[in-house]
Amino acid sequence: MAATAQAQPNIALVKYWGKRDTRLNLPVTGSLSVTLDALWTRTRVELDASLRHDELRLNGAEDPATLARASACLDLLRQRAGTAQRARIDTHNNFPTAAGLASSASGFAALVVAADAALGLALDRQTLSMLARQGSGSAARSLFGGFVSMAAGQRDDGADAVAQPLLDAAAWPLAVVVAVTTDRRKQVGSGAGMERSRRTSPFYPAWVDGAAADLAAAQHAVRARDFAALAELSEHNCLKMHAVMQSSRPPLLYWDGATVDCMQRIRALREDAGEPVFFTVDAGAQVKAVCTPDAAPRVAAALAELPGVEQVLSSRLGEGARRLDDSEAP
């Protein structure tokens, strides 16, 4: 049996950085994100009784590190299906991989949806969110579209550390313009970076202590469609997270010079030109500008002209992960 699924990356506006349980990938704080539309991962899972081990190709090439994580995630679904049958996994991103654009989020969301169909499980979305989280913490959010909240949860088994939809994409149709400043893989992955920050950053306790208030304020801003409030809070939350990263030992410096130039340009567009736009940056050098759809072409043009910006991608908000039929599958 084989099945193919598509999922989109999500961009966190209120971020999590740190885990309370690394084995189960449980976040220490909640988070809030938007799911994109134009960027996607498509993943095909084919069960094959002749295989002794899982096989994986990412963008046409073998990737042992991703295979190990994917196999561990598939084991969770195989246990539920009562089978040990191995799988052939073929996954493709239409955007830079492992470069701070949440490719692991879309990748593991697509993986669990495709595997669920291939194994005939028909699990509900909350369960798939929990399983995807164990592959990548942010993947739990890519099961859903639009604005999505992720709970840190309190249970030791992680059953309550799941995402849920907050507001549909059509209810507040914002846009996201992504300034890609490099397509290179980051030197320190998010999981390793989080653990370094937890152990060494003097700002980490304050980051955790302030998370619940940030999340509640952001949820209120989204429900009220209050762009100014969401902008101020999202930028502040982003910069707090990077302060934790940069104060780790050794420091985690995910930005490059173009990252800073993009943030400055976005602030100037908002404060000097009156454009409805704000920035956020994850564990990478890429800058995401969240804006109203009418402002997106102007924001994209302003970022594209900056030295060091290699590519500008524009997207509306999208829907959650879904299975593809044969006509849609790659």
**What pLDDT digit, counting tens, does each position of 40-88 carry?**
999 999 999 999 999 999 998 998 989 999 999 999 999 999 999 999 9
State pTM to two decimals: 0.94
Estimate to the nearest angstrom the gap between the alpha carbon of 27 and the chain centroid: 13
Rounded to whole angstroms, the Cα distance separating 22 from 19 reads 6
**Token code pair at residue 164:** 């849920």
Residue pLDDT, tens place only, 222-275:
999 999 999 999 999 999 999 999 999 999 999 999 999 999 999 999 999 999
Structural contact between residues 283 and 9, judged by C-beta atoms closer than 8 angstroms: no
Which pLDDT band, with edges at 50, 70 and 90, does 278 fall under? very high
Give the distance between the most distant pair of CA atoms in the chain. 63
In angstroms, rounded to a whole number, what is the distance separating the alpha carbons of residues 239 and 151? 21
CA distance 78 to 121: 9
28 contact partners, CB below 8 Å, separation of at least 6? 16, 18, 19, 20, 152, 198, 208, 211
Are the C-beta atoms of 282 and 102 separated by less than 8 Å? Answer: yes
Burial class (CB in 10 A: 0-12, 13-18, 19+), 24: middle
**Distance linking the first and last C-alpha atoms of the chain:** 16
Position 185 confidence tier, pLDDT thresholds 50, 70, 90: confident
pLDDT of residue 99: 56
Residue 238: per-residue pLDDT? 98
Alpha-carbon distance 175 to 196, whole Å? 33
Considering only CA atoms, which of 120, 11, 41 is closest in space to residue 322?
41
SS3 189: coil
**Dihedral sign from CA coordinates of 53, 59, 64, 67:** negative
CB distance 19 to 27 below 8 Å: yes
Q: Identity (one letter) of the amino acid at 259?
A: T
